Amino acid sequence: MAPVPPQPATSPGECSGDRPLRRDAERNRQRILHAAADVFTERGLAATLDDVARQAGVGVGTVYRRFPDKEALVDALFGQRIGALVALGEQALREPDEWAALTWFLEQAGELLAADRGLRQMVMFTTYGRNRSGEARACLKPLITRLITRAQAAGAVRSDLCPTDIPMIEFMLASVAGYAQHTRPEVWRRYLALILDGLRPDRAGTTALPEPALNPDEMQAAMGTAHLGRP
């Protein structure tokens, strides 16, 4: 399967339609987004908006003109990354082997998370990230559902696996990746493998999952309430 650029052409809304910004305004928007990606990747979400502005080569004021506040910027960034996941999902669905498709997707998403500290924090805490670009997520959900259903139909995956389990698994990998980022940045693959073994289709020794997965509404709610510390 061909490699995929980390952030493919993910303009504001790929599914929906936003009225476009003036040419230069859009250029600034992108500069800020790139700068934010760099800065947050390196220093985490605690990085200052002044840092982002400096990296982008614009004034803070400009950042605030483009994004109402820090959370909005984080949201936008998150949306971009979800966009990348969407691309990944689409690519995965072109893989004929259903199990391989699923694992490839999980692995690619893991790599995305492992490489980006800011993204890990976005994914793991909702301090920042008010609405979390529900839009982009809306594009992603059906892809994941298809990935799973297909694999279940093929008997490649346990039948009680649900779509929302996928982001949850990514959360878990993100936590591992963050923890070992400076000591063994690849160790998250070990735990992905462990979890994949747990995803294998029902057989002797497979236990029924004691709790239902989050339904989409709960998932949405969880994303809006999880937070790290700041009130």
Partner DNA sequence: GATGAATGAGTATTCATTCAT
Partner DNA sequence: GATGAATGAATACTCATTCAT
Examine residue 58 and tell whether it contacts a second copy (CB under 8 A).
no
Cβ neighbours of residue 153 under 8 Å, at least 6 residues apart?
Answer: 98
Tokens matching residue 204: 């002797």
Q: Which is nearer to a second copy, 3 or 231 (CB)?
A: 231
**Residue 137 binds DNA, judged by CB under 7 A:** no
Out of a second copy, DNA, none, what residue 62 binds, judged by CB under 5 to 8 A for its kind, is: DNA
Q: Rounded to an integer, what distance in angstroms lies between the CA atom of residue 122 and that of residue 84?
A: 15
Assess 70 for contact with DNA (CB under 7 A). Answer: yes
Stretch that binds DNA, among 57-65, 78-86, 112-120, 204-212 (CB under 7 A): 57-65
Within the chain, residue ranges assigned H as helices are 23-43, 49-56, 60-66, 70-93, 98-115, 117-124, 134-153, 165-179, 188-199, 216-225
> Coil, strand or helix: which one is 133?
coil
**Residue 58 sits in the site that holds DNA (CB under 7 A):** yes
Paired tokens of 168? 């949850």
188-199 and 98-115 helices, crossing angle to 10°: 150
Min CB(203)–DNA separation in Å: 50
Q: Answer with the entry of DNA, a second copy, none that 124 interacts with (C-beta below 5 to 8 A by kind).
A: a second copy
List residues near a second copy by CB under 8 A.
43-47, 121, 124-125, 158, 165, 168-169, 171-176, 178-184, 186-187, 189-191, 193-200, 203-214, 218, 221-222, 225-231
